[in-house]
Structure 1
Amino acid sequence: MNAFDDLMRHARDTAALGQVAGRLGWDQETMMPRGAAGQRSDEMAAMEGVLHARRTDPRIGDWLAAIDGETLDDAGRAQLREIRRSFERANKVPARLAAEIARVTSQAQGQWAEARAADDFAAFAPILREVLALRREEGAALSDGGDVYDALLDDYEPGAKAAELEAMFGALRPRLVALREAILDKPAPKGLEGTFDEGAQMKLTRQIAKVFGYDMSRGRVDKAVHPFSSGSGNDVRITTRTAPEDPFNCLYSTIHEVGHACYEQNIDQAYLLTPLGQGVSMGVHESQSRIYENQLGRSRAFTGWLFGQMRDAFGDIGVADEEAFYAAVNRVHNGFIRTESDEVQYNLHVLLRFDLERALISRALEVEDLEAAWNDRFAADFGFPVTRPSQGVLQDVHWSVGLFGYFPTYTLGNVYAGCLHAALRDAVPELDAQLARGELAQATGWLRDTVQQHGGLCTPRDLIARACGAEPSEKPLLEYLEAKFGALYGL
């Protein structure tokens, strides 16, 4: 057992250093002075060099060879599975390449933010070419002659294949398009009216974060251009954003990120700073953020409670009663921004990105043609044109930081959330009555017990199948959307 103990000590120290590197990223997005960008990219590259050396340490191979997995419990065998997977993948990527990716993506993140603010894709394109070239090189190294995109996808959803996701997404697309078209033929419900103080938004959003179970003694809420969650275990931080005319942007971004954060906070403390001490995949992670945000946070029952909180915080908000507020929260409307999209159209935004990034990785599309390809696809899918890059190709941070293969996990997470919601309603018959009182403890407790506490113990599909009692399928999500919006819009 000495080899296992030595391996786990090494893994814990590596995980701790990874958390430090993550904190550098959080600081870059929230508080770092603009003039520090160049130095920060060097710092990130140096940290990645240290981490890569630890992940490829030859002693890991010796320890793995010396350990008899049959002497371990389920958690121990899962630790070995994850360490072996990380070791094998890390050894396929040269240290030079890992450090260069960290350095360039740190620079690209700042350049993307400036280009987005200036609506200037041409200013961002040169460094995006660098990022894309590096990630293509990494994918080729990881794929061993196989599909390069699948190799990148495996970073975010272990075991998933693009062809399988394409089939699932292909089943989603026609019914989503048909539902969208039927809804947009109906009169749109009234939205909120007025200006909503940004300080009051932040006060309310922190209160709601606590209602959903976010432990503020182990986290904090800050503002960033693009909301995100960072960290794991006992230091899990989230960001949100505010707009004076749109408080939903702040509130629902927060609920979404709280779903991510609660997943990390609720993992069994026995797994802290080990390979099992983080979410098992981005698809499962997204299932938590989306079920918190949508099936719970946008439900008729919860919005009835939230209506009262909004009135207390802002006074007259331009809608008369709980039912009108529910309709406003769930209003289906044309828009450019994925993170602000309604439930019906959200996945259409993701599928656009999935197809474009696969084309970029395969070299069927190059960066100089990306903006035009985005605009053409958006017009075809949504029926109106993109008028500026910040509404289109520059709206997401993901490609600037090299997250090719990440986007499909958003829709996969919605599919998982649909399955979990159906199982949750069976498990908690009084769910609506609880939500109407602003009581989330039993709902979030069920998610904690069935999904979150297990961290990386199970593979992603096995985890969802065990929680739901059936293999993941797009059908529960489609049935939920068609029932909910069919009733809202009288279809």
Structure 2
Amino acid sequence: MSAYDDLMARERETQALAQVAGRLGWDQETMMPRGAADQRAEESGAMQAVLHARRVDRARGDVLAEAEGQATEPVARAQLRHIRRDYERAVKVPGDLAVALARLTSRAQGQWAEARAADDYAAFAPVLAEVVRLKREEAAALSAGGTLYDALLEDYEPGMSAAKLDAMFAEMRPRLVALRGAALAVEWPRLEGRFDRDGQLALSQDLAQVFGYDLSRGRLDLAVHPFSSGSGDDVRITTRVSEADPFNCFYSTIHEVGHACYEQGIDPAYRLTPLGQGVSMGVHESQSRIYENQLGRSRAFCGWLYGRMRDGFGDFGIADEETFYRAVNRVHRGYIRTEADEVQYNLHVMLRYDLERALIAGDLSVADLEAAWNDRFAADFGYAVDRASNGVLQDVHWSVGLFGYFPTYSLGNLYAGCLFEALQAAVPGLDAQLARGELAEATVWLRGAVQRHGGLFEPTEVIARACGAAPTAGPLLDYLDRKFGDLAG
């Protein structure tokens, strides 16, 4: 075997083990009995020990260097680029720290869920303080004297920095705030009544398949916080149900289908290799957001969904398709990021981004985090947080150590704005298709333009190749102004 062949055989085994570790996380969120939390923490730590040892193995570094001197083909060079990045990051992190983080975050996730249910931040704060301490230690090892937060951000969006994010948010905030003020001045219709759990889950299954999710290689389950897990031929999604708010279920499902279709759409030749997964969380989020918003919340698709809801739930108090469209896109006061309208969603992300940067920098203590959240929320949104589950405890991310993840949600929105502009040009009959509940041409275009590449290109290059230009915030902001300017009259 050549050095490259030898290296890729090792990488496929490591990727397969990583998928098994991910399945432990999926099970913890969906099926695991509550009493198994401590044992699962040990299991997760053991898997992380095996994975870390493989990633930092000096033999891996030696064969990687040899392969880099031989490989010339573009796909091989891309594989090696990812392996080199992973290897150089892995060797900077001590093995005992990697294992400690895996054990701690597995345990912290369960404690977060219990604290959230009890609206008790004080019960969660001690374990979160330990997570932050270990993440700062990890960031210090990775940054080699550089910015701690940028070192963590690299895990989710290679090439991104806090300085670039600051410039992006500074451009977005004024227009979003102005649009929010105009939209909140308008009265919006909303759903009333109860929508049974089984009916919601049945329609969610239909929606998943309409948007192209292959259920023969996936499954739909329930979780406290919806998520997507896995890649290749085993990509699983979750949703949640509120009988008073079926849109929460339907659009959580569509959102996670976007993630899942990205993973299912990657070139099968890349399976169980570094290229066989989404290239970044920003690009990943671009797929979930364009599925959920530009397609799923469009006037045309809402007309089709209105008919399906009447078929499933009978007369539910919305008189016509246009009123239903306005109800789906209602701009409203609320606390929850995942339930926020398109106008205010990125303002929720900015709040989290600033707070987690302060935590990692050491400028904000975990003990003061809840008060800082509440103060910032009142300043940004104009009303007070009523309870911890609507505030600092609403998201799972910090409990599992995902510091640097939140800003990729806004990057995904920005990328989705660019992709939708390109999609409309590529599929001139898009609205007519959406009105019939036909998503195939749109999702096939996204698969060819974005999803099939996996990790072949760097994140911004993926978007630039699909759109013909480097990504900017302009297309997203213009789309929001047009859509909500029309809706708000």
How would you bin the TM-score normalised by the shorter chain?
Answer: over 0.9
Which residue is equivalent to 1:317?
Answer: 316
CA contact (8 A) 1:227 1:241 kept: yes
Residues 30-67 of structure 1: per-residue CA shift (max 9 Å, x gap): 01000000000000000000000001111111112212
Which residue is equivalent to 1:131?
Answer: 131
How many residue pairs get matched?
489
Which residue is equivalent to 2:378?
Answer: 379
Which residue is equivalent to 1:35?
Answer: 35
Shift of residue 68, structure 1, vs aligned partner? 4.5
Shift of residue 71, structure 1, vs aligned partner? 3.8
CA contact (8 A) 1:69 1:77 kept: no
Which residue is equivalent to 2:449?
Answer: 450
Correspondence 1:481 to 2:480:
yes
Paired AA for residue 312 in structure 2 = A
Residues 159-199 of structure 1: per-residue CA shift (max 9 Å, x gap): 10111011001100011001001111122x21112100001
- The whole-number CA distance in structure 1 between the counterparts of 2:446 and 2:174 is 30
- The whole-number CA distance in structure 2 between the counterparts of 1:338 and 1:318 is 27
Which residue is equivalent to 1:58?
Answer: 58
Consecutive unaligned residues in structure 1, runs of 5 or more: none
Correspondence 1:2 to 2:5:
no
Paired AA for residue 90 in structure 1 = A
Paired AA for residue 360 in structure 2 = I
Which residue is equivalent to 2:172?
Answer: 172
Correspondence 1:47 to 2:47:
yes
Shift of residue 330, structure 1, vs aligned partner? 0.2
**Worse-superposed segment, 246-255 or 176-185:** 176-185
Paired AA for residue 66 in structure 1 = E
Consecutive unaligned residues in structure 2, runs of 5 or more: none
Which residue is equivalent to 1:342?
Answer: 341
Residues 63-87 of structure 1: per-residue CA shift (max 9 Å, x gap): 1221245643111000000001000
**Worse-superposed segment, 123-132 or 316-325:** 316-325
| Corresponding residue SS for 1:344 | coil
Which residue is equivalent to 1:246?
Answer: 245
Which residue is equivalent to 1:299?
Answer: 298
Paired AA for residue 345 in structure 2 = Y
Paired AA for residue 257 in structure 2 = V
CA contact (8 A) 2:104 2:131 kept: yes
Paired AA for residue 301 in structure 1 = A
- The whole-number CA distance in structure 1 between the counterparts of 2:391 and 2:71 is 53
| Corresponding residue SS for 2:343 | helix
Paired AA for residue 100 in structure 1 = A
| Corresponding residue SS for 2:344 | helix
Which residue is equivalent to 2:157?
Answer: 157
Shift of residue 427, structure 1, vs aligned partner? 0.5
| Corresponding residue SS for 1:470 | coil
- The whole-number CA distance in structure 1 between the counterparts of 2:416 and 2:293 is 9
- The whole-number CA distance in structure 2 between the counterparts of 1:195 and 1:268 is 42
- The whole-number CA distance in structure 2 between the counterparts of 1:71 and 1:178 is 52
Shift of residue 214, structure 1, vs aligned partner? 0.1
Which residue is equivalent to 2:192?
Answer: 193
- The whole-number CA distance in structure 1 between the counterparts of 2:77 and 2:34 is 45
TM-align CA RMSD: 0.7
| Corresponding residue SS for 1:67 | helix
Shift of residue 224, structure 1, vs aligned partner? 0.3
- The whole-number CA distance in structure 1 between the counterparts of 2:374 and 2:65 is 52
CA contact (8 A) 1:205 1:251 kept: yes
Which residue is equivalent to 2:95?
Answer: 95
CA contact (8 A) 1:301 1:433 kept: yes
Residues 407-458 of structure 1: per-residue CA shift (max 9 Å, x gap): 0000000000000000000100000000000000000000000000000000
| Corresponding residue SS for 2:243 | coil
- Return the TM-score normalized by structure 2: 0.99
Correspondence 1:116 to 2:116:
yes
Which residue is equivalent to 1:181?
Answer: 181
CA contact (8 A) 1:191 1:318 kept: no
- The whole-number CA distance in structure 1 between the counterparts of 2:21 and 2:71 is 34
- The whole-number CA distance in structure 1 between the counterparts of 2:181 and 2:321 is 26
Identity %: 72
- The whole-number CA distance in structure 1 between the counterparts of 2:71 and 2:385 is 59
- The whole-number CA distance in structure 2 between the counterparts of 1:156 and 1:132 is 17
CA contact (8 A) 2:4 2:71 kept: no
Paired AA for residue 156 in structure 2 = Y
Which residue is equivalent to 1:143?
Answer: 143
CA contact (8 A) 1:219 1:238 kept: yes
Paired AA for residue 118 in structure 2 = A
Which residue is equivalent to 1:85?
Answer: 85
Paired AA for residue 58 in structure 2 = P
Which residue is equivalent to 1:217?
Answer: 216
- The whole-number CA distance in structure 2 between the counterparts of 1:59 and 1:392 is 47
- The whole-number CA distance in structure 1 between the counterparts of 2:193 and 2:65 is 65
| Corresponding residue SS for 2:300 | helix
Shift of residue 381, structure 1, vs aligned partner? 0.6
Residues 261-319 of structure 1: per-residue CA shift (max 9 Å, x gap): 00000100000000000000000000000000000000000000000000001001210
Paired AA for residue 449 in structure 1 = G
CA contact (8 A) 2:68 2:80 kept: no
- The whole-number CA distance in structure 1 between the counterparts of 2:403 and 2:246 is 31
Shift of residue 8, structure 1, vs aligned partner? 0.2
Which residue is equivalent to 2:206?
Answer: 207
CA contact (8 A) 2:418 2:467 kept: yes
CA contact (8 A) 2:41 2:103 kept: yes
Paired AA for residue 260 in structure 1 = H
Shift of residue 92, structure 1, vs aligned partner? 0.2
Which residue is equivalent to 2:23?
Answer: 23
Which residue is equivalent to 1:12?
Answer: 12
Cα distance 1:224–1:92, how it changes in 2: closer, same or farther (>3 A)? Answer: same
Which residue is equivalent to 1:412?
Answer: 411
Paired AA for residue 369 in structure 1 = D
Which residue is equivalent to 2:368?
Answer: 369
